Amino acid sequence: MSERNHAEFVADVIAGLQAMGIIIYGERVAVVRDPEEEKVGSIIIPDQAKRKEPRGTVVGRGLGLKELEDSITAGLEVGDRVMYTKYNPIDFFIRLPDGTEARLELMHVSDLYLGWKE
């Protein structure tokens, strides 16, 4: 994200999904991953110590989540921040009206570890 911040980009993705009429089926969510943090310095850290689960923002919810409101998805809304597994998401790309390409990750709700509101 060079000219705009990540929050503005996420808002554009949410609006783009709604404008395109994209429907997410089942018990799935679409997430925009946070940009990678840049590390400054020259300390060498073993790969296992660097493990960090991906974090992102929910930009879409599947239709099946309405039926599960009282269980695992209680309170999960578009715009919530989540931490999730890096092994199961399906990547897909959409082109926003301004020509920007956005990478989204589609996953089952059971792949989410935790969520919070900002």
* Tens-digit pLDDT profile for residues 70-109: 555 667 889 999 999 988 899 999 998 888 899 999 999 8
Where residue 67 falls among pLDDT bands split at 50, 70, 90? low
* CATH code, residues 6-31+52-116: 2.30.33.40
Predicted model pTM: 0.79
Where residue 2 falls among pLDDT bands split at 50, 70, 90? very low
Query: What integer pLDDT is reported at residue 71 of this predicted model?
Result: 59
* Tens-digit pLDDT profile for residues 45-59: 665 556 678 999 999
Domain ranges of the chain: 6-31+52-116
- DSSP classification of residue 106: E
| CA distance readout (Å), 16 to 44, 85, 88, 89, 95 | 41, 25, 24, 20, 8
